[in-house]
Amino acid sequence: MEQPQVSPVETALPPYNLNEEQEKKEIIRHYRALLRSLKSKLKKGDKELVRHAFEMAAEAHKTMRRKSGEPYILHPIAVAMICVEEIGLGVRSTICALLHDTVEDTDISLEDIEREFGTEIARIVDGLTKISNVIDTNTSQQAENFKKILLTLTDDPRVILIKLADRLHNMRTLDHMKREKQLKIASETVWVYAPLAHRMGLYNIKTELEDLSMKYMEPEAYKDIARKLAETRRERTRYINEFIRPLKEKLQHANFNFEIYGRPKSIHSIWNKIRKKGVAFEEVYDLFAIRVILDSPPEREKEDCWKVYSMITDEYMPSPERLRDWLSNPKSNGYEALHTTVMGPQGKWVEVQIRTKRMNEIAEKGLAAHFKYKEGSTNTDEDRFDKWFGQIREVLSNQDTEGVDFLQDFKTSFLAEEIYVYTPKGEVKMLPTGSTALDFAFSIHSAIGSKCIGAKVHHKLVPISHKLRSGDQVEIITSNKQKPSEDWLGFVVTAKARNKIKDALREEKRKIAEDGKYILQRKLESMGAAYSQYNIDELVQFYKLPSSLDLNYRIANKSIDLKELKDFQVLGDKIEIPRPKPVVHEQVADPTPKSLNRKDSELIIFGESSDKIMYALAKCCNPIPGDDVFGFVSTGKGLVIHRTSCPNAAQLLANYGHRVVKTKWAKNKEISFLTGLKIVGLDDVGVINKITNVISGDLRINISGLTIESREGLFEGTIKVFVHDKEELEELVTRLKSLNGIQTVDRFDAETV
């Protein structure tokens, strides 16, 4: 039987309207529910501590309300409930969750919390307060705070677990926020928090965070998939029952104690498949997974899982390349399971996941369950979290990392899936997906990375940029003449490799800058000025450079010509910068094609004021009227309009929220926009004629370009057209799809039209 997955699409919140007496009852009801959840974990004296924390928080937040109008205290109680029920945390975390907003938002100080509850709880609340300050600050500040969070995480992972609970509750109640706030919080969630939940092994929370983010960033696609899932549920349930029946009999016959059920895939993961593989919803074969959960003793877990695998593959034919064995090699977030994809009835591929009760609890409760089972265990695999924390500490100790780079590095190094690679002696190294031979070299030792000139993978020579795959055995080749170069930064993904390369380049830059320093010193002295800090600062400012190191470096490599210094005055031994000439304002280039009507500045209305503002359309996603869009204030380009589904949207909104401008389209049917379609179909006589008839003849849409390539009975075409808005484009797509022999029609997403 398919276990229903609560879809956040239906969770629109009712308006809040309770009187004071009802409010008190509501708060007490929520608090009692929390105590019931905690019951099994309460030791002597714990109940009083939790009550004290609840009363302290309720008193501190008593005048505060959430955007929905409900009393603020319901939020900390809900966060505490998620910590207990969905993450499996205990009494101390509950107290921290109840108090998590008090230091930042109320008169309660960290000292008060330490006095009442001790240093451990005060330290966690301090960590949570620091995270709150990440939101809505400038980028470098945000990254600095993020570093602080991660340092706290390596001391006490409960900080991040409680923060994830906080973020999940905020996402569940995001309906009451303004649209631009929803976009910023949702993109930040999908950019940092969902991958972090995944890395902590909290698969259910990661999935819900992704689904909720999509609900606000891609509302149309979200509703569409949710609706189709609801419509096909009965049919799916029937199929799952048919698939499970013979397996149940086999497992019962073998005397296994088990559960078996189907579980729908998340809306976000289905959407990803549709986008990446370019298929329709109906063609996504794995809309659900079958899960088998065994009740096996620890010493028989592996053996039992493989026995069940054998029974399943006796009944249904497996796809050999889709076997995932995380029993022998668990993921570094503790995940253990056996996944296979088999050919089920009616020629449908079905994913089957096999795991034990213990593995299932670790998969759902992640880090908290991992530590629970770790007590009393001697398994060396169990300290993978500790290794991961160790790697984070090592990167954080490098203080030179740039703000935004740090967030990006952290994401690729620590939040990605990992691969397992072997040294020539058979030692296993864990690296993020996408790692190259050079990343592997740096993971062994920074000196080996710096001298790496190539590698052998399974004894075959490969370049340092070669991407590794799980199971590769790698031998690094070094040379004493080798040294890191700038282009290395283009293909390494681990933070360790990136930092070491930057260090080496900085060192190299310093050496070259020494020559520049000597040239500048002579030049200033020949003018009668001193080589002083004042004069250096003036020149750094004049050339708009970040530091004196950059000034000296550019002088040395001749990208700055010191002839300009002849225009400078020298007063005493100080130089005086010449006054700038008046700036001639250039006309902003028209972002729409030359052939179009020049009324582009009337296209967009900002906020409530309906001001007409010049803008440019982002080349990465080519928005057209009707698309869900946001404005982004870009340095050097002014206002740039992106689609919320743009490949770069999540990163821009999450990292530079303060530069986002609310935008919507004004009605204007006079202006056309260039967009592109990709068409795939059967190569038939007259197919081009049919397509152009629909575009130019029926719909009278102008074609800007058309290319068709045909190969072995199939054709692939790209068409560039001028449309007025999204409705016109959707009408065109529908008409083209209805033609005989046309298989898919997709809009260009991340290509330059």
pLDDT in tens, 620-658: 888 888 888 888 887 666 788 888 888 788 777 777 777
User: What is the reported pLDDT for 435?
Assistant: 92
User: What is the reported pLDDT for 78?
Assistant: 93
Report residue 169's pLDDT band, with 50, 70 and 90 as the boundaries: very high
What one-character-per-residue DSSP string does 303-364 give?
A: HHHHHHHHHHHHHSEE-GGG-EETTTS--TT----EEEEEE-GGG-EEEEEEEEHHHHHHHH
* Residues in Cβ contact with 129 at an 8 Å cutoff, skipping those fewer than 6 apart: 100, 103, 104, 110
| Mean pLDDT of all residues in 290-319 | 93
Residue 54 has pLDDT above 70, yes or no: yes
> Which ranges in 528-605 belong to alpha helices (H)?
533-542, 548-556
Report residue 10's pLDDT band, with 50, 70 and 90 as the boundaries: very low
Report residue 610's pLDDT band, with 50, 70 and 90 as the boundaries: very low
| Mean pLDDT of all residues in 599-616 | 49
Distance CA 617, CA 634 (A): 12
User: What is the reported pLDDT for 397?
Assistant: 61
| Mean pLDDT of all residues in 50-70 | 88
User: What is the reported pLDDT for 307?
Assistant: 94
The β-bridge relationship of strands 702-711 and 714-723 is antiparallel
Which phi and psi angles does 710 have, rounded to 5°?
A: -120, 140
Residue 289 has pLDDT above 60, yes or no: yes
Round the average pLDDT of the chain to a whole number and report it: 80
Residue 751 has pLDDT above 70, yes or no: no
User: What is the reported pLDDT for 430?
Assistant: 81
Residue 368 has pLDDT above 80, yes or no: no
pLDDT in tens, 538-560: 888 887 787 888 888 888 888 78
Residue 144 near residue 399 (C-beta atoms within 8 A): no
> For a pLDDT cut of 70, what percent of the chain falls above it?
81
- Lowest average pLDDT, out of 204-218, 344-358, 704-718, goes to 704-718
Residue 377 has pLDDT above 50, yes or no: no
Query: Using CA atoms in the order 31, 37, 39, 45, what is the torsion angle rounded to 10 degrees?
Result: -40
The catalytic site residues sit at 104-105
Report residue 138's pLDDT band, with 50, 70 and 90 as the boundaries: very low
pLDDT in tens, 186-223: 888 888 788 888 877 788 899 999 999 999 988 988 99
Name, of 21-30, 349-358, 425-434, the range with top average pLDDT: 349-358
- Lowest average pLDDT, out of 44-48, 419-423, 660-664, 705-709, goes to 660-664
Secondary structure of 450-506 in HEC code, one letter for each residue: HCEEEEEECCEEECCCCECCCCCEEEEEECCCCCCCHHHHHCCCCHHHHHHHHHHHH
Domains and CATH numbers, the chain: 8-217 (1.10.3210.10), 227-375 (3.30.460.10), 503-576 (no CATH), 600-665 (no CATH), 673-747 (3.30.70.260)
Report residue 406's pLDDT band, with 50, 70 and 90 as the boundaries: low
Please state, as a whole number, how many other Cβ atoms lie within 10 Å of the Cβ of residue 36. 10
Q: pTM, whole model, 2 decimals? A: 0.68
> Which ranges in 119-157 belong to alpha helices (H)?
119-132, 139-155
Residue 45 has pLDDT above 70, yes or no: yes
What is the number of alpha carbons within 13 Å of residue 487 lying toward its C-beta?
Answer: 2
